[in-house]
Amino acid sequence: MAQVSVARPRAEALVNEFVRSVYNWMAVGLGLTGVVAYYVSTSPSILRLIYGNPILLFVLIAAELGLVFSISGMVTRLSASTATLLFVIYSALNGVTLSFIFLVYTRASIVSTFFICAGTFLACSIYGWTTKRDLTSWGGFLMMGLIGIIIASLVNMFIRSSAMDLIISYIGVIVFVGLTAHDTQRLKHMALTQPADLEAGVVRKGAILGALSLYLDFVNLFLMLLRIFGSSKE
């Protein structure tokens, strides 16, 4: 009985430490993205370099996709420091490509939408962590919804329909709300099932992978909400 009573607090401490690490790295990524995006938006020379050169913009977007796939697909083969560095680089690059929101939307609407997104994200995370319902089955459905959003967005680049853009945004909110709850529950399962004797580097890589998933959910949810609630500059 004494061993059980000692082991349980230790297991809870390990879970709490892992989860705290995930959310800390997610916060670092979001903070870095926000700072870089704002800085780039205030630099006319950098804006001209990026948005005046479609090839460079395409390279940046391709690099972001490559980093996401590298972290997600090869995290077991990467060192903890490399995985962390790639996540930081990705967050910074994402800030560069997202700098356009400061050019398109008013700062007041960006700030208000951020807090709406933060509240929504928090509520979904709490649901995903506390619900007794198994959300695993949501994964396939939500991924189909995500693929549908990507295809519809590409089509709408040529159609340029404001009504279709609004519909895509509302569907996107639903999809990323679901993904936030789904990924949070997956993170909880990861935290509860990891062995207590895992090396610190392995734990760090798991935290970075979890942070990347939640980071992507937050950023995409924010962008969908911004398309709904954002006020365009005159």
pLDDT tens sequence across 145-200: 889 998 998 898 888 888 898 999 999 999 999 999 999 999 988 888 776 666 77
Per-residue pLDDT band at 53 (split at 50, 70, 90): confident
pLDDT tens sequence across 56-115: 989 998 999 999 988 888 888 888 899 999 999 999 999 999 999 999 999 999 999 999
SS (H, E, C) the chain: CHHHHHHHHHHHHHHHHHHHHHHHHHHHHHHHHHHHHHHHHCCHHHHHHHHCCHHHHHHHHHHHHHHHHHHHHHCCCCCHHHHHHHHHHHHHHHHHHHHHHHHHECHHHHHHHHHHHHHHHHHHHHHHHHCCCCCCCHHHHHHHHHHHHHHHHHHHHHHCCHHHHHHHHHHHHHHHHHHHHHHHHHHHHHHHHCCCCCCHHHHHHHHHHHHHHHHHHHHHHHHHHHHHHCCECC
The one-letter amino acid code at 113 reads T
Domain membership of residue 182 (yes or no) is yes
Query: What total of structural domains would you count in the chain?
Result: 1
Identify the pLDDT of residue 101: 93
Give Cα separations from 95 to 11, 70, 131, 156 (angstroms).
37, 19, 33, 24
Domain membership of residue 197 (yes or no) is yes
Print the domain residue range for 210: 2-229
Domain membership of residue 234 (yes or no) is no
Average pLDDT, the chain: 88
Domain membership of residue 24 (yes or no) is yes
Domain membership of residue 199 (yes or no) is yes
Identify the pLDDT of residue 5: 45
25-29-32-35 Cα dihedral, nearest 10 degrees: -120
Could you tell me the pTM of the whole model?
0.89
Identify the pLDDT of residue 11: 60
Q: In this model, does residue 204 exceed pLDDT 80?
A: yes
Domain membership of residue 31 (yes or no) is yes
Identify the pLDDT of residue 8: 53
Identify the pLDDT of residue 1: 44
> Is the distance from CB of 216 to CB of 90 less than 8 angstroms?
no
Identify the pLDDT of residue 115: 95
Identify the pLDDT of residue 4: 43
Domain membership of residue 175 (yes or no) is yes
Place of tokens 């950023």: 219
Rounded Cα gap, residues 128 and 14, in angstroms: 20
